């Protein structure tokens, strides 16, 4: 069969080419819920999570998941899910004549906005045309800010909207007139409302907002709803996101997981069934505090964290194309989430990915691994490993990474040679780690014009295509244990790359 590999613009960007960009929709205390709140949040550090979506409580699992993945090298694109009818808290301030002049509104919907206060005071400069504004948020005092020298004149650089909007994590401002607001405060914003009782439609609405994002490599959410999963799986299939992450509901036994997987319709939606999705048994036993009995913990953060770590290093996850050695090196204190061999066999038999200790369910082992990487393809052989997909995508990332690093120019034969040598090193590494069968020309071939001294000597590429600035290379891969052969066709230009894939 032949499938289009990736329909998005693959402009050379090091972070996006080599790292994990996770699209995540979930519930949190704060965060953008619609396009009018701005583009999806880009979260690249743990402080970003605290600043923009909240510290998190037992009610919200999202912040902890995102922090864990970010800590291992992920970049997050995030939209928050709330029920329809969410309202942002606001306060309209008046001038000395008691006329409305400045509207202050929470940056996004929710009851959290009712805990934000604003204070208006005379500016320390003594200039009566200027004022200062102070914000405070009782749940996170560290987010409060004071802005001085604010103007109500839209022609000024210090216009209140210019200074605050898109910068402050709590509020946005709208000038209703050009008159300075009267001193007041602290006064609370009011009327903020939102519900965490969400439906599949609420998740679907958030998912659609990622349509213009070019560099998403993973997609996940905090939902266990089969309809949500089906929509996410369809999105992954369309965008060629190479892994969609789901988890069996927390607390299930392996028997319940089997019913969940194979019950009527499969999660209630039989079309959650494609090679771009992976399902994990939901919880792991964890003993991170070093004392007491291990406690159950949702596996989502650990799985996403491991994938992020592998992508951030730009190297294979031990064996990317079939061998079962995907160790979770960062699972400190974790024991496992499969307690015995029958449970293991039950789960893998229905293509649910367990997480086990390193030595065949020996609970005394110190290293934990994802024992399988099975995709959600019911009634298919479990030999269709997700690592094959991950391996091909890893090769794509390395192409982009190397092409940017050498400032690739398809009209320069030396650039072809450099790219070939860099890719050969990577592929040899994969071969030595059982990611590919054999060495060059046995388990894989790299076909291009790297031996050409000038354009006229190119034989793999036509002169017509070279004149357009295009350079084509082909990779022929044999996956372990010889499950299938893959031809990855790549057209490189000075600024972008196009990929197509043929699986034999």
Instruction: Give the pLDDT confidence of 294-336 residue by residue, as tens digits.
Output: 566 677 777 787 677 666 655 444 433 333 333 333 333 444 4
The region of weakest confidence among 90-99, 256-265, 274-283, 465-474 is 256-265
Q: What is the band of 103 on the pLDDT scale with cuts at 50, 70, 90?
A: very high
Residue 346 has pLDDT above 50, yes or no: yes
Three-class SS state of 79: strand
Tell whether the torsion through CA atoms of 49, 50, 53 and 56 is positive or negative. positive
Q: What is the percentage of the chain residues whose pLDDT exceeds 90? A: 25
Q: How far apart, in whole angstroms, are the C-alpha atoms of residue 426 and residue 399?
A: 10
> Between vectors from CA 380 to CA 335 and to CA 302, what angle results, nearest 5°?
25
Residue 51 has pLDDT above 60, yes or no: yes
The answer to whether the CB of 276 falls within 8 A of the CB of 230 is no
Burial class (CB in 10 A: 0-12, 13-18, 19+), 161: middle
The answer to whether the CB of 53 falls within 8 A of the CB of 70 is no
Instruction: Give the pLDDT confidence of 134-176 residue by residue, as tens digits.
Output: 999 999 999 999 999 999 999 999 999 999 998 999 999 999 9
Q: Report the pLDDT averaged over residues 256-279.
A: 68
Count the Cβ atoms, other than its own, within 10 Å of residue 140. 18
Of 243, 233, 487, nearest to 389 (Cα)? 243
Which domains occur in the chain, in start order? 2-82+197-386 (3.40.50.11780), 90-188 (2.60.40), 406-503 (no CATH)
Please list, in sequence order, all residues whose beta carbon lies within 8 angstroms of the beta carbon of residue 451, skipping any fewer than 6 positions away: 417, 457
Instruction: Give the pLDDT confidence of 383-418 residue by residue, as tens digits.
Output: 444 555 566 666 776 777 788 788 877 777 788 888
Cis peptide before 198, with omega less than 30 degrees from 0? no
Q: What is the band of 260 on the pLDDT scale with cuts at 50, 70, 90?
A: confident
pLDDT score for 409: 77
The conformation of residue 40, written as its DSSP 8-state character, comes to P
Question: What is the residue whose two structure tokens read 């800590």?
Answer: 71
DSSP, residue by residue, 122-187: E-TT--TTEEEEEEEETT-GGG--EEEEEES-TTSTTBHHHHHTTT-SSEEEEESSSSPBPPEEEE
What pTM did the predictor assign? 0.74
pLDDT score for 485: 64
Tell whether the torsion through CA atoms of 219, 329, 369 and 63 is positive or negative. negative
């Amino acid at each position: 069969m032949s499938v289009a590999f990736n329909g998005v613009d693959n402009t050379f960007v090091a972070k996006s080419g080599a790292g994990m960009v996770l699209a995540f929709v979930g519930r949190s205390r704060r965060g953008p819920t619609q396009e009018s709140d701005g583009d999806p949040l880009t979260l690249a550090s743990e402080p970003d999570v605290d600043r923009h979506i909240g510290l998190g409580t037992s009610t919200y699992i999202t912040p902890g998941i995102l922090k864990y993945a970010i800590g291992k090298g992920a970049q997050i694109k995030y939209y928050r899910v709330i029920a329809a009818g969410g309202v942002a808290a606001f306060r309209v301030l008046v001038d000395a004549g008691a006329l409305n002049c400045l509207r202050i509104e929470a940056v996004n919907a929710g009851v959290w906005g009712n805990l934000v206060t604003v204070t208006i005071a005379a500016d320390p400069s003594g200039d009566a045309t200027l004022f200062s504004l102070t914000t405070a948020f009782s749940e996170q005092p560290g987010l409060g800010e004071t802005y001085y020298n604010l103007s109500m004149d839209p022609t000024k650089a210090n216009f209140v909207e210019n200074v605050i909007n898109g910068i402050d994590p709590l509020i946005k401002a709208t000038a209703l007139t050009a008159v300075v607001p009267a001193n007041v405060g602290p006064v609370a914003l009011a009327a903020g409302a939102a519900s965490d009782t969400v439906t599949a439609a609420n998740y679907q609405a958030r998912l659609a907002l990622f349509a213009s994002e070019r560099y998403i490599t993973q997609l996940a959410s905090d939902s266990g709803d089969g309809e949500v999963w089906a929509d996410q799986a369809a999105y992954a299939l369309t965008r060629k996101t190479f892994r969609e992450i789901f988890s069996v509901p927390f607390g299930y036994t392996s028997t319940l997981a089997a019913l969940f997987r194979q019950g009527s319709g499969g999660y209630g939606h039989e079309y959650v069934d494609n090679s771009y999705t992976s399902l994990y048994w939901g919880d792991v036993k964890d003993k991170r505090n070093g004392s007491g009995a291990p406690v159950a913990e949702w596996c989502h953060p650990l799985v996403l964290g491991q994938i992020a770590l592998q992508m951030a290093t730009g190297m294979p996850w031990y064996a990317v194309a079939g061998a079962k050695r995907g160790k979770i090196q960062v699972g400190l204190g974790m024991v496992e989430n499969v307690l015995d061999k029958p449970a293991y066999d039950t789960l893998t038999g229905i293509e649910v990915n367990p997480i086990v200790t390193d030595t065949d369910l020996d609970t005394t082992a110190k290293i934990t691994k994802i024992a399988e990487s099975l995709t959600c393809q019911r009634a298919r052989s479990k030999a269709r490993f997700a690592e094959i997909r991950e391996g091909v995508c890893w090769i794509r990332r390395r192409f982009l990474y190397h092409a940017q690093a050498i400032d690739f120019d398809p009209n320069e034969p030396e650039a072809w040679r450099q790219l070939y040598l860099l890719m050969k090193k990577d592929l040899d590494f994969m071969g030595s780690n059982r990611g590919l069968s054999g060495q060059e020309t046995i388990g894989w071939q790299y076909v291009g014009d790297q031996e050409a001294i000038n354009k006229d000597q190119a034989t793999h590429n036509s002169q017509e295509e070279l004149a357009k600035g295009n350079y084509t290379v082909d990779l022929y891969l044999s996956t372990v244990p010889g499950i299938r052969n893959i031809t990855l066709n790549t057209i490189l230009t000075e600024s972008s790359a196009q990929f197509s894939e043929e699986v034999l």
